[in-house]
Every structure is written in structure tokens, then in C-alpha cells.
Structure 1
């Protein structure tokens, strides 16, 4: 997939900009603005102030609308880029290429607290491909073992998730409008159904193997050369102790220590004499 992917997404996002719930929300906002302006007119607010207010509201509205479109488009762009990496296991990708796509997916999680489960699975698959098994287990477990992996449990969606689902249903009805995007979504969903659990188990197994092979868990054993040298030194020291001549009795008696009571008695007697 070439550089035309973002252009394709922009085209079909513009086409669906005012369709479905998006168009209904736009109409509701427009009516609200008209009502506010009418009330300002009835309050005898000067016309320049009303016009200025209307212009400001319009540009803010357009900015919010454009931001929402870019956020939704970013999710589908993430799917396409991830699909390009995951579909060909024999192709060798640079680590920074995979990491860039992972970071774009993690930005989606920052924007949406109720991000689609497919985003979590895709992130886990990319992390597994890059060899980051700990991060892969974190994301894949959210899909396989967490409530976030079940779309049926999402009953109170965020506005961004509602718009995402609306756009997704539109391109499902007309896949020709965004064929590369639809192909990526279907491929990732198929992989999620068939491989999510096995991929999670595989990454957990690799984590366990890596933990068992880490230096903290390895029991160090002395090499044969070191063990032989240590035993030789011990034997030599023992021989020295056995064959060393014993000191004479006069030497031993010269170094004998007096009992502490006798030492104290001598000290007291010397102090009495000096006194």
C-alpha cells in the first residue's frame, strides 16, 4: 500500500461527514446556535457583538469537527499500517518502523478510554512481532481475558467511539469506497478470532523462558579449573599446618595473658603507691 492511503481515507471521510448521526448532531448544533442568537437579539445586544459571537462559534465548531475527523481517520490509518506489517511474516521490517506504528496505536488509547478491542489486539500483535513480549501480553490479555475485549459489554460509549462505529458500519455497507481499509479491518478481525488466545499463550511462554534464563535465576557453578585450584590451595594450607614446627614452651609462656582480675589488682596497687 503506497502513499495514497491517507488521501483515500480523507476522501471517504468527507463523503460521510454529514451522514447518519454525524449529520443529526450537526443539525442540532446549528439549531442551538440559531436559538442563542435569537435570544441575544431579543435582549437588545448590539448586532456587531452577535455577529462576532456567531463567527467565533462557527470556527470553534469547524475546528472540533475537523479534529474529530482526524482522530477517527487515524484509527483506520493505524489498521492499514499494522496490516501491512503483520500480513507478510517473511518480510523483514526495521524495529523503528514497527515502533512508530505501535506509538500511533497507543495515541488512540490516550484519546479513547473505550478504544475498540481491535486496537488492543493489533497493538499486541505488533508488539509480538517486534519481540516485546511483555507489552504483547499486556495488550492481548486485555482482549482475551478482560471485559474490554467484548463489544457487547460496551453499553455507554464515548462520543468518539460512537462516531468510529458509525464510520465502520458505513464502510462495511460500501466496502468499495475504502477497499484497502476494509481489507485491513477484515484481516485483523479474522486474526483476532483465530489467533488471539494462542498468541497470548505463546508470548507468555516466551516471557517465562526469558525469565528462567535471566542471570538473576541462573545458579552460578564454579568451573573445573577454579574448583581444582581451590582444592589444591586448601590441601596446601592443611599440609603447612601439619608440618609446621611447634614453638617452644618458653615462647608460649611468654605470650600467655594474665587473668583480668590480676591485671586490675596490679593497676590498683600501682595507683595506691603513687597516691
Structure 2
């Protein structure tokens, strides 16, 4: 019996024990059936929600692979941003997301030109031991369900060929290009960092200019105060007229 069969048998046995205990307590059989039915539907609803959560991971793989694989399409920035947000929501909702989610996010940030975020996710894949699936020894319930669905798809790829194609493509890219993309992101970040001080606005020119203007204004005022104002034109003409009379 596989893991899924054992879990189903354990749940069925638990339900039988609970029903037997309720019967021993003298609770009417109709009430027991009612509570059993309600419990069953609640369990099915929770199970459906859990499968939907796992399905979101595979849908993200398909969307991410479409963006990363097709170089001939000119993707709009908001399209890439929407796929990135789907991946980020998976990281927020799971305590131990699959490593492939981290790589797909890093590759999407790399394609979008956000090298800082790309380096953050790609460094987890390239340099962190937890990115190796072999080191995931205590999985959460979400990760266990994801792995169960993944193994089923691997055994029967014809069930979801598009999903398996996306997973295999992302895994190949992760194996072949993750380290290269991380190195390129860090190289670009190291090139951008020294440029930030150089691109800062230089206020010394404005300060010098302002100081120079005040100095010029001060010097002009000083010269104007020292310079004797010329006599009025009437006085000049009168002096010339008197000189002519004396000469005559």
C-alpha cells in the first residue's frame, strides 16, 4: 500500500472509531449520521482547496516557461510582472516551496532586468544546500501533496503533457544556466554600484556660482561707491561757455 492509501485507511479508521464512541455515549444514530455527513463534506472541501494550491504551482511553471522559453515574443513588462506576482504568492503561502519555484522567479526577474531580485533568488538555488531536493527531509503537508502530484505526472506524462514539458524545460535551464545568470547579475550590480556616487548631483558648482555672484555684486558695489559721479550736463555746458567768454 502506498503513502496515499495508508493515509486514506487511517482517516477511515478514525471516522469509524469516532462513530462507535458516539454510539456508546447514547447519541441518536440520526445525529451521528448528520455529523458524519457534515464532517465528510468539510473534509472534501479542504482537500479540494489543498489540490488547488498544488495546482497553482504547476500553473506557475507553465506561465513562467512560456515567458522564458519564447524569445521571439515581445513580452510586455506588466505580463512578466503578473507571472512574478504569482510566484511570489506561492512563496508567501508555503513554508517550504519547491526549489524550482525559486529558480523560475529568479529567471523571470533576470528577464525583467531586476538583477538585485534575480540574484537573491538565484543565489538560493546555486549556493544554498536547501535548494537540493535531497535535503528536504521534513516536508510540510503542501510540499508532500505537490510531490505526490509531480510523481504521478512523471509516471503518466500523457495526463498533462504541457505541464511536464514546462517542468523539464525549467529544470534544464536551472541546471545549465542558473550559475551563469547569477554571475551576470552580480557583475552588473557591481558595475552599477560605483556609478551611484558619480551620478550624485554636484552642488559645488551652484555654491561656487552663488558665492561668485555675491563676490561680483560686492565688488561692483564697492567700485560704484568709490567712483565719483560725473557732473550734470548743464554744469559742463556752463563751464564751457564761461571759458569761451574769457578767451574772447
Give the TM-score normalised by structure 1. 0.72
Q: For residues 177 and 183 of structure 2, what CA distance do their matches in structure 1 show?
A: 10
Select between 89-98 and 236-245 the one with higher mean Cα deviation: 236-245
Provide runs of 4+ in structure 1 moved above 4 Å.
219-224, 226-245
Q: Is 1:64 matched up with 2:64? A: no
Match of 2:126 in 1: 144
Q: Which residue of 2 aligns with 1:111?
A: 93
Between the aligned partners of 2:13 and 2:54, the Cα distance in structure 1 is: 25
Q: Does 1:129 find its partner at 2:105? A: no
Check if 1:84 corresponds to 2:66. yes
For residues 40-89 of structure 1, what are the alpha-carbon distances to aligned partners after superposition, in whole Å with 9 as ceiling and x for unaligned?
A: 11111122321221012101110111011111111111101110110022
- Map of 1:51 onto structure 2: 33
Does residue 173 of the first structure (1) align with residue 155 of the second (2)? Answer: yes
1:100 aligned to 2:82?
yes
- Structure 2 residue aligned with 1:191: 173
Q: Which residue of 1 aligns with 2:17?
A: 35
Match of 1:156 among 119, 123, 138: 138
**Displacement after TM superposition at 1:122 (Å):** 0.2
Return the offset for 1:91: 1.6
Offset at residue 209 of structure 1 (A): 3.0
Cα distance in 1 for residues equivalent to 2:172 and 2:83: 20
Matches of 1:145 and 1:101, distance apart in 2: 25
Counterparts of 1:210 and 1:177, CA distance in 2: 47
1:238-257 matches, cutoff 5 A: none
1:212/1:218 contact within 8 Å kept: no
Give the CA deviation at 1:148. Answer: 2.5
Where in structure 1 are there 5+ consecutive unaligned residues? 1-18, 246-275
CA shift at 1:151, angstroms? 1.3
Question: Does the C-alpha gap of structure 1 residues 234 and 50 become closer, same or farther in structure 2, counting only changes over 3 Å?
Answer: same
CA distance in 2 between counterparts of 1:51 and 1:217 reads 76
How many Å apart are 1:235 and its aligned residue? 8.1
2:102 equivalent in structure 1: 120
Query: How many residue pairs end up in the alignment?
Result: 227
| Secondary structure of 2:160 counterpart | helix
